[in-house]
Structure 1
């Protein structure tokens, strides 16, 4: 008798829930930001720990690559990101060897990437950002300006850090033989 393969339905449901929740929150907050924050001065909360500041990020992380020609940016930022997202989603969907923690981490990274990719395709390479946190006025005391999708990506990467930092275990040295006289 052939053993039945475990159903993929729970993984599909969990992956769908993470993507729908994160992308939905990301896009909803960006709609709010466009309607209510665009063109407004930055707002400060909690003794300037949180700043709400609408920007349209033309690049990647912290605006990296924002000055590239739009066609180059499309082929360097937008298309490779979309291909990586397809690969990550295919891996998460088909792999039966990853544990639930890794599954959730990769799903969050993919969902955040989808949220930002929606912006890039819809807004000609731009991503809407509006959150900034920190303590102080110096650049090194604050985060860059980010969005909900970036929070998902960052949380997913943080969840994967124990796996990255753990490395391969090193075997213990063999015990020394007792000295005989």
Structure 2
């Protein structure tokens, strides 16, 4: 895929993912309370405002602040920068792979922005259950990260085959 097409695709997916995530977080912060839960669809969908100082499902949230900063700001920021460079420079990546990698980058960056802006936490507000199964509290960026990972698995990190030149 040509660089200009790849850059356009990355820009579009990034703008949509981060834009939707940040808008939904702003709405959640403006309309939800940390003291109450809103139930929908018979309690299958719950909206509750939380401040997640950890990563996925709060993992690492109890680490000392300096360790959390090193891992979740510097470490994650470095990983995301490397992922963006890889996505930008990988000429062989097909469109679904570029979209998936950009969704992962965008979800991670949107949550990283929260940590920087809000002093170390991410705004989470969604919780879903189906029978006895229940998710942790999450946000749209988390959905983008998982969707990107599922797409990568589905396409198998496919790239265009190299044509041997004689």
TM-score by length of 1: 0.82
Aligned counterpart for 1:149 among listed residues 125, 141, 153: 141
Q: Which residue of 1 aligns with 2:161?
A: none
1:38 Cα deviation from its structure 2 partner: 2.8
Q: 1:18-37 CA distances to partner (integer Å, 9 max, x unpaired)?
A: 11111011111111111111
Counterparts of 1:1-16 in structure 2 under 5 Å? 7-16=2-11
Structure with higher RCO (Cα < 8 A, 6+ apart)? 2
Offset of residue 53 of structure 1: 1.0
1:61-140 aligned at under 5 Å gives the runs: 61-136=56-131, 138=132
Alpha-carbon RMSD across the aligned residues, in angstroms, is 1.6
Paired with 1:14 and 1:50, the residues of 2 have a C-alpha distance of 32
What are structure 1's unaligned runs of at least 5 residues? Answer: 1-5, 167-181
Bigger Rg over Cα:
1
With structure 2 as the length reference, what TM-score do the two structures score? Answer: 0.89
Alignment partner, residue 48 of structure 1: 43
Are 1:33 and 2:40 matched, yes or no? Answer: no
Moved over 3 A (4+): none
Deviations 1:75-129 (A, max 9, x none): 0122111111101110111110111111110010001011100001111210000
- In structure 1, C-alpha distance between the alignment counterparts of 2:50 and 2:97, rounded to whole Å: 32
Name the CA distance, whole Å, in 1 between partners of 2:2 and 2:152.
25
Q: State the alpha-carbon separation in 2 of the partners of residues 14 and 103 from structure 1.
A: 8
